[in-house]
């Protein structure tokens, strides 16, 4: 039987997009305490079922699909541009497909303005009304207002009309930056993208006997299985070392290892990989917010996915990508991988010297390139220790000399020395796990 919490989530999911909900209303309709209603609404917000909009309330919204992640809602636009909603509040949950800058004659402007777009324009009331009639929302720049007739039209059409004190150019740059950030987020691989779902997962119950473990091992050739209770909650894990020497009729809950590490579908793949490598774990159960089993991920699947990510083109540039463009191979001995970079104003701290964070990014990138060049292998950095650094001035060229000091089958230690004009200005030690390319 579903818990009260799950019943509330199902109720919220069944509501039409645009419906307004409140803690008091949910508590009254479903006969639950306000505390239970509040917790369920917060979870619904985390799941993308509802959104709390300032001065409007909590609204049922369309759940954003990952592939459409770059589409922003009008509520998010209000937040990005520090805007004030003049009318059409009921449409804040809608998403925009594109935005149009109204810096042209009215008829030319309307040719580009279409349904579900956002017209960014100044104090031009006629343009505001025409855009709303076309099914587009309006963002008025320069802190201007609009007339009451336009506000009423926005309410009727359920299309937001927003005012911001920023100018048109600044607003366009801010929205572009937000969309760009969303594109980078879209490329982050989550556990939910690669996990084995529950239907294809082999697991054991606390009431099973050890013989069941041997049965699964023979069928799958694996040796680790999650253990669930009668409510499908993960309570343990069983491995070969747990069952060795145990009687065949012993119950699983007497031999299992309790409180195993778990991940959720929303966990990033990089974080899951770090946990598995650091703890030496071959499989990890994937659970929901109630700790119920949803599937599992294996170390092999995680490493394969990480290899695949390395080969994929990225949609948006991260800060590491931008810094990597500045790091170039140094000429000289082809067997000695050295790299150099010039310190630009963007790389400096408030004192005008190279930022510590940029230094570490360069060190990691130099080590990664050296491993690819010399050993044809990639790495996932686990630990970086910077144990010596001098202030590195603006517009100086620094050279990175990465050197392997310990290479194992699955891990590596790399020492990186950093030079300026043949003098050592920095040293770092990296510990990393290796990935076959």
124 or 322, which is more confident: 124
Q: Spell out where 34-96 has E strands.
A: 50-53, 57-60, 84-87
DSSP 49: S
HSE at residue 91, side-chain half, CA atoms within 13 A, is: 26
| pLDDT score for 255 | 92
Q: Give the span between the Cα atoms of 44 and 295, in whole angstroms.
A: 22
Q: How far apart are CA 128 and CA 136, in angstroms?
A: 9
Residue at token pair 């009008």: 74
Sign (positive or negative) of CA dihedral 9, 12, 17, 23: negative
Q: Give the model's pLDDT for residue 7.
A: 86
Q: Which helix (H) or strand (E) holds 109?
A: helix 106-112
Report the distance separating Cα 103 and Cα 122, nearest Å.
9
CB 430 within 8 A of CB 416: yes
**Confidence band of 284 (pLDDT split at 50, 70, 90):** very high
Instruction: For residues 217 and 240, give the distance between their C-alpha atoms in angstroms, rounded to a whole number.
Output: 9
Neighbours of 121 (CB within 10 A): 25
> What Rg value do the Cα atoms of the chain yield, rounded?
28
Percent of the chain with pLDDT over 70: 90
Residue of 314, 282, 309, 319 whose CA lies nearest to 298: 282
Instruction: Give the whole-angstrom CA distance, residue 289 versus residue 38.
Output: 16
User: What's the rounded Cα separation, in Å, for the pair 423 and 427?
Assistant: 12
What share of the chain has pLDDT > 90, as a percent? 35
| Span 40-87, pLDDT tens digits | 888 887 777 887 766 667 877 766 544 444 567 888 888 888 889 999
Query: What do you get for the CA distance between the two ends of the chain, in Å?
Result: 48
Residue pLDDT, tens place only, 327-343? 999 866 556 789 999 99
Residues 6 or more apart whose Cβ sits within 8 Å of residue 275: 261, 263, 281, 284
pTM of the model: 0.48
pLDDT score of 209: 93
Q: What mean pLDDT is predicted for residues 352-362? A: 90
Angle, to 10 degrees, between the axis of helix 23-30 and the axis of helix 4-14? Answer: 110
**pLDDT value at residue 1:** 57
Phi, psi of 198 (to 5 degrees): -60, -40
Residues 85-117: tens digit of each pLDDT: 999 998 888 888 788 888 777 877 777 788 888
pLDDT: which is higher, 187 or 177: 177
Q: For every residue of 281-331, which 3-state class applies, written as one string?
A: CCEEEEECCCCEEEEEEEHHHHHHHHHHHHHCCCCCCCHHHHHHCCCEECC
At residue 225, the pLDDT reads 94
Per-residue pLDDT tens over the stretch 211-249: 999 999 888 878 899 999 998 999 999 999 999 989 989
Q: What is the pLDDT of residue 300?
A: 79
Q: How confident is the model at residue 150 (pLDDT cuts 50, 70, 90)?
A: very high
Q: Is 213 helix (H, G, I), strand (E, B) or coil?
A: helix
Q: What is the number of other CB atoms lying within 10 angstroms of the CB of residue 282?
A: 12
The pLDDT of residue 366 is above 60: yes
C-alpha–C-alpha distance, residues 36 and 53, integer Å: 21
pLDDT of residue 167: 87
Is residue 29 classed as helix, strand or coil in its secondary structure? Answer: helix
Predicted local distance difference test score (pLDDT) of residue 309 = 60
For 67-94, letters b (16+ CB in 10 Å) and e give eebbbbbbbbbbebbebebbbbbbbbbb
């Amino acid at each position: 039987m579903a818990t009260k919490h799950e019943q509330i989530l199902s109720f919220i999911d069944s509501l039409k997009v645009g419906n307004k909900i409140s803690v008091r209303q949910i508590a009254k309709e479903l006969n639950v305490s306000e505390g239970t209603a509040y917790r369920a609404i917060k979870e619904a917000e985390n799941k993308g079922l509802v959104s709390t909009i300032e001065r409007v309330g909590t609204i049922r919204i369309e759940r954003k699909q990952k592939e459409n992640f770059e589409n922003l809602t009008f509520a998010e636009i209000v937040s990005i541009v520090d805007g004030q909603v003049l009318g059409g509040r009921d449409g804040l949950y809608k998403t925009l497909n594109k935005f149009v800058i109204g810096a042209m004659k009215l008829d030319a402007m309307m040719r580009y303005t279409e349904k579900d777009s956002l017209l960014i324009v100044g104090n031009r009331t006629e343009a505001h009304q025409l855009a709303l009639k076309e099914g587009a929302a309006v963002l008025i720049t320069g802190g201007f207002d609009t007339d009451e007739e336009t506000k009423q039209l926005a309410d009727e059409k359920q299309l937001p009309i927003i005012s911001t004190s920023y100018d048109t150019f600044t607003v366009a740059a801010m929205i572009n930056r937000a969309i760009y950030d969303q594109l980078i987020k879209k490329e982050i691989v989550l556990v939910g993208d690669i996990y084995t779902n529950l239907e294809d997962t082999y697991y054991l119950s606390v009431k099973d006997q050890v013989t069941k473990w041997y049965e699964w091992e023979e069928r799958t050739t694996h040796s680790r299985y999650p253990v669930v209770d009668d409510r499908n909650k993960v309570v343990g894990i069983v491995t070969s070392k747990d069952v060795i020497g145990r009687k065949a009729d012993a119950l699983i809950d007497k031999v299992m290892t309790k409180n195993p590490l778990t991940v959720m579908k929303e966990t990033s793949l990089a974080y899951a990989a770090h946990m598995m490598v650091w703890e030496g774990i071959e499989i990890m159960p994937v659970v929901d917010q109630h700790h119920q089993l949803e599937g599992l991920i294996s170390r092999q699947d995680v490493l394969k996915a990480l290899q695949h990510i390395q080969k994929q083109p990225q949609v948006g540039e991260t800060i590491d990508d931008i810094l990597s463009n500045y790091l170039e191979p140094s000429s000289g001995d082809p067997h000695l991988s050295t790299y150099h970079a010039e310190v630009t104003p963007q790389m400096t701290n408030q004192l005008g010297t190279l930022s510590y964070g940029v230094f570490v990014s360069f060190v990691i990138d130099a080590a990664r390139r050296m491993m690819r060049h010399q050993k044809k292998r990639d790495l996932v950095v686990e630990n970086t220790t910077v144990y010596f650094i001098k202030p590195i001035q603006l517009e100086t060229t620094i050279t990175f000399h990465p050197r392997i000091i310990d290479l194992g089958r699955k891990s590596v230690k790399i020492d990186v020395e950093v030079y300026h004009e043949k003098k050592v200005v920095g040293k770092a030690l990296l510990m990393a796990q290796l990935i076959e390319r």
